[in-house]
């Protein structure tokens, strides 16, 4: 008799898992009737071990003229996952996660969402949707670095041109690559909002997701209640250009961090000099090292060029907590032992390149590459130890990617929506000054900077801070919410160290 409840629970779990697997794998199709565009079903998220609602939301691939009379257009099924509020009734405004990359699907990240919104989920439904071209929403996957299981592509610079051309030709047979920009995704989200029956949304954008949030806010301002932006991408500058400068500052902090530690200072007396020596040596002649290839069960000789080294080091600087270990790896490389650095770089590269590269190219080539091509990249790279990682490779790739220029934030005017901006002081991809430039569009905002924080890091009592900002009657005055060690950047650019923004009613 005691076994029956367990049997019923096991059966229910199996049904929920089966429902999620059936509902969460949308594929391209022809037009569907409006009433059938959104179907949510009970599902079970194994990664969180809790129930949710999963399904597919159908949108036209080509948004302009998509509903012209007498036409049949391809539609895309966007994967949607709704994490229910832990108390009922839920707040009227659901909270939407807009993830980074570009190329990472939000519905693929329920554990991240649950951690970031641990407090907000008490009262809010959290909506995760794979942006068109990502996750399971007609993903534009290229596998640019999967070359028969070889390691070499993971240590080369990004966007190998031959692989980019082959991917563009293959994807063009089933997708209009010019229709996967941020503006189209913003309109997808607004249609989903209406289908969910929500008058307004709260938005949380991280990294590239901050651009997605700003574009949605510009196109649909009356449908946003509040917005949180973490690791803010500059609205007026191409990503590779400012990211190169931010990487140089991250190198400065690496040197300072090592100098502050007696053991690191003894082992690595001149970190920046080590970087310079490695770059000079690799510019003269690429290095060759042997690495173990677990997929092939053999060793492989890999080549490390100056640009490959610069890009890998730049990526490793995303997390300042590893600065001292990174400094030791570079020091060993400067002494001629490149294998330890190559092993660490290989691990990092494999982890970071799991995204829809085709969707990334559709966004960057339309929205960033035109501005990058007009910029004085030679001047920007002058005196920089790492140069401008990714910039040259991106421009070459975009010459082979069939999209035209688009500027979804061009001419944007200021919006009164309350906003909380969060930055890491040593972020090598989205430095705090980018958030300050975004505040020109968000005058009703507060900007917090985490000392020594890296890219898109959200730890400690951050979930409580996010929830407090979303719930407060007056988002400008939250009292001593948390993070007294964070720095506050006032609207006039003056930074106050060691206080929360809300102790003194900013802005």
The CATH number covering residue 102 comes to: 3.40.50.1820
User: Does residue 33 sit in the same domain as residue 60?
Assistant: yes
- Tens digits of per-residue pLDDT, 49-63? 999 999 999 999 998
Q: Which two tokens stand for residue 89?
A: 């009734």
For residue 278, tell me if it sits in a domain.
yes
**Please, are residues 32 and 66 in contact by the beta-carbon 8 Å criterion?**
no
Query: pLDDT at position 91, please?
Result: 80
**Please, are residues 297 and 352 in contact by the beta-carbon 8 Å criterion?**
no
Last residue of a domain, one of 345, 373, 408: 408
Classify residue 162 as exposed, middle or buried by CB count within 10 Å of its CB (0-12, 13-18, 19+): exposed
User: Does residue 225 sit in the same domain as residue 192?
Assistant: yes
Decide: pTM greater than 0.85.
yes
User: Does residue 369 sit in the same domain as residue 457?
Assistant: no
β-bridge pairing 287-293 and 50-60: unpaired
User: Does residue 92 sit in the same domain as residue 179?
Assistant: yes
Last residue of a domain, one of 372, 389, 408: 408
- Tens digits of per-residue pLDDT, 218-255? 999 999 999 999 999 988 888 888 778 788 888 998 99
User: Does residue 213 sit in the same domain as residue 358?
Assistant: no
User: Does residue 282 sit in the same domain as residue 424?
Assistant: no
Crossing angle of helices 391-398/357-367, nearest 10°?
Answer: 90
User: Does residue 360 sit in the same domain as residue 462?
Assistant: no
- Tens digits of per-residue pLDDT, 152-198? 999 999 999 999 999 999 999 999 999 999 999 999 999 999 999 99
Classify residue 249 as exposed, middle or buried by CB count within 10 Å of its CB (0-12, 13-18, 19+): middle
User: Does residue 388 sit in the same domain as residue 503?
Assistant: no
**Please, are residues 115 and 463 in contact by the beta-carbon 8 Å criterion?**
yes
User: Does residue 210 sit in the same domain as residue 252?
Assistant: no
The reply to whether omega before 422 is within 30° of 0 (cis) is no
- Tens digits of per-residue pLDDT, 319-348? 777 889 999 999 999 999 999 999 999 988
Give 143's contacts (C-beta < 8 A, 6+ positions apart). Answer: 163, 167, 357
| Ranges of the chain whose pLDDT falls below 50 | 1-35, 66-71, 483, 498-507
User: Does residue 117 sit in the same domain as residue 189?
Assistant: yes
Helix (H) or strand (E) holding 405: none
Task: Name the 3-class secondary structure at 147.
Answer: coil
Alpha-carbon distance 428 to 311, whole Å? 12
Structural domain containing residue 37? 1-140+175-234+410-507
User: Does residue 325 sit in the same domain as residue 403?
Assistant: yes
For residue 501, tell me if it sits in a domain.
yes
How many structural domains comprise the chain?
Answer: 2
User: Does residue 445 sit in the same domain as residue 498?
Assistant: yes
For residue 208, tell me if it sits in a domain.
yes
Query: pLDDT at position 345, please?
Result: 93
Q: Which two tokens stand for residue 72?
A: 């049949």
Task: Name the 3-class secondary structure at 390.
Answer: coil
């Amino acid at each position: 008799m005691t076994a029956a409840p367990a049997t019923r629970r096991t059966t229910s779990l199996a049904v929920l898992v089966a429902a999620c697997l059936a509902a969460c794998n949308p594929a391209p199709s022809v037009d569907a009737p409006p009433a059938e565009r959104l179907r949510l079903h009970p599902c079970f998220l194994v990664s969180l071990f809790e129930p949710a609602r999963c399904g597919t939301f159908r949108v036209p691939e080509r948004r302009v003229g998509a509903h012209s009379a007498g036409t049949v257009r391809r539609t895309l099924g966007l994967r949607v996952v709704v994490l229910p509020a832990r108390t009922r009734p839920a707040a009227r405004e659901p909270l939407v996660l807009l993830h980074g990359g570009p190329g990472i699907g939000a519905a693929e990240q329920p554990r991240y969402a649950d951690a970031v919104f641990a407090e907000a989920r008490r009262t809010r439904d959290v909506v995760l949707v794979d942006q068109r071209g990502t996750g399971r929403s007609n993903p534009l996957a290229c596998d640019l670095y999967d070359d028969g299981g070889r390691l070499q592509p993971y240590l080369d610079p990004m966007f190998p041109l031959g692989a980019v051309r082959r991917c563009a030709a293959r994807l063009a047979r089933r997708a209009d690559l010019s229709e996967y920009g941020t503006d189209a995704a913003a309109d997808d989200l607004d249609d989903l909002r209406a289908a969910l029956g929500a008058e307004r949304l709260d938005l949380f954008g991280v990294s590239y997701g901050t651009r997605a949030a700003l574009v949605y806010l510009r196109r649909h301002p009356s449908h946003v209640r509040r917005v949180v932006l973490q690791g803010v991408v500059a609205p007026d500058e191409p990503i590779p250009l400012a990211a190169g400068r931010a990487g140089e500052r991250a190198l400065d902090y690496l040197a300072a961090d090592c100098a502050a530690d007696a053991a690191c200072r003894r082992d690595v007396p001149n970190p920046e000099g080590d970087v310079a020596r490695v770059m000079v040596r690799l510019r003269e002649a690429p290095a060759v090292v042997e690495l173990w290839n677990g997929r092939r069960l053999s060793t492989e000789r890999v080549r490390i060029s100056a640009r490959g080294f610069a890009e890998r080091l730049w990526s490793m600087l995303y997390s300042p907590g590893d600065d001292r270990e990174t400094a030791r790896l570079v020091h060993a490389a400067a002494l001629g032992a490149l294998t330890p650095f190559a092993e660490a770089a290989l691990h990092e590269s494999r982890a970071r390149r799991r995204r829809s590269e085709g969707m990334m190219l559709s966004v960057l080539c339309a929205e960033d590459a035109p501005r990058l091509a007009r910029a004085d990249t030679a001047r920007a790279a002058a005196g920089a130890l790492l140069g401008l990682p990714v910039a040259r490779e991106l421009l070459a790739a975009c010459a082979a990617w069939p999209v035209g220029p688009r500027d979804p934030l061009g001419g944007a005017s200021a919006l009164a929506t309350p906003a909380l901006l969060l930055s890491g002081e040593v972020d090598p991809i989205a430095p705090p000054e980018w958030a300050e430039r975004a505040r020109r569009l968000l005058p009703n905002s507060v900007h917090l900077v985490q000392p020594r924080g890296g890219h898109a890091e959200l730890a400690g009592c951050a979930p409580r801070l996010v929830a407090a900002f979303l719930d407060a009657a007056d988002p400008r005055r939250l009292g001593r919410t948390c993070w007294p060690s964070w720095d506050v950047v006032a609207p006039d650019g003056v930074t106050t160290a060691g206080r929360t923004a809300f102790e003194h009613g900013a802005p």
